[in-house]
Amino acid sequence: MTRILAIETTTGLASVALLDGEQGYVRELPGVQTHSQGVLPAVQSLLAEAGVALADCDAIAFGCGPGAFTGIRTACGIVQGLAYGAGLPVLPVVSLLAMAQAAREQQGGSEFVCVLDARMSEVYWAQYRYAAGGWQTVVEPLLSRPDEIPAALAPDLPLFVLGQGLDAAALPPSTATLVCMPHALQVARLGRAAYEAGVRLSAEQAQPLYLRNKIALTTAERMQLKPGR
């Protein structure tokens, strides 16, 4: 029986999950400011509820991004520390794929375009297809403006899976949408699939997926965004 601990902190809703066989244990931590303080106590609480030690887990899965810079760094740092201490492998999971997994669990289907707010009038997005019992990446994660996402990305119009706060009107017309955030429970399920397929990364390989090298606008760029300019 595979046992996976998972941490997801790429958005404002952080979560921790323990997947013990088919039994799932979950803790959620709203508010990005509390992620670094709240994740470790949440992990301890989950392990205590399940009656297992960290070393009893097979691996630690984590949301590697794309997403909030601070949240991704928080996850990588915590996962590295836990994995080193317990001698466990790590399993990075793309946050956009976790959204596709959640959407499939809620509504079924096989074609998904997952979109997260990237700030600065941009979004992170990717397209996934579920086929032959597993996930295929149709379009790798990208950073772009919402209106740059093509309207027809697959033979069958995909379901657009949106992070909170995104305006569906900015996306291609006539698309079905579902609001769904990355969550540790789906990270755990995807991590388990990777583990059972033979994926094993060392603790130092708990690295973030960044799509934007530039984290903040310069003063001149902020002035260009002001109304009337």
Do the strands 13-20 and 111-117 form a parallel or antiparallel pair, or are they unpaired?
unpaired
Could you read off the pLDDT of 201-221 as tens digits, one per residue? 999 999 999 997 644 433 343
Among 38-47, 93-102, 158-167, 184-193, the least confident range: 158-167
The share of the chain scoring above pLDDT 70, in percent, equals 86
- List where CATH 3.30.420.40 sits in the chain: 3-95+182-205, 96-179
Strand partners of residue 134: 131
Instruction: For domain 3-95+182-205, give the fold.
Output: Nucleotidyltransferase; domain 5 (3.30.420)
pLDDT of residue 34: 56
pLDDT above 60: residue 226: no
Cα 35 to Cα 124: distance, rounded to the nearest angstrom:
21
DSSP string, 162-228: E-TT--GGGSPSS--EEE----HHHHHHHHHHHHHTT--B-GGG-----S-S--S--HHHHHHTSTT
Per DSSP, 201 falls in state: B
pLDDT of residue 189: 98
pLDDT of residue 228: 42
Q: According to CATH, what is the number of the domain 96-179?
A: 3.30.420.40
Single-letter amino acid, residue 205? Q
pLDDT of residue 57: 98
pLDDT of residue 220: 44
In which band, very low, low, confident or very high, does the pLDDT at 168 lie, cut at 50, 70 and 90?
A: confident
pLDDT of residue 170: 74
Q: pTM surpassing 0.75?
A: yes
Report the mean per-residue pLDDT for the chain. 87
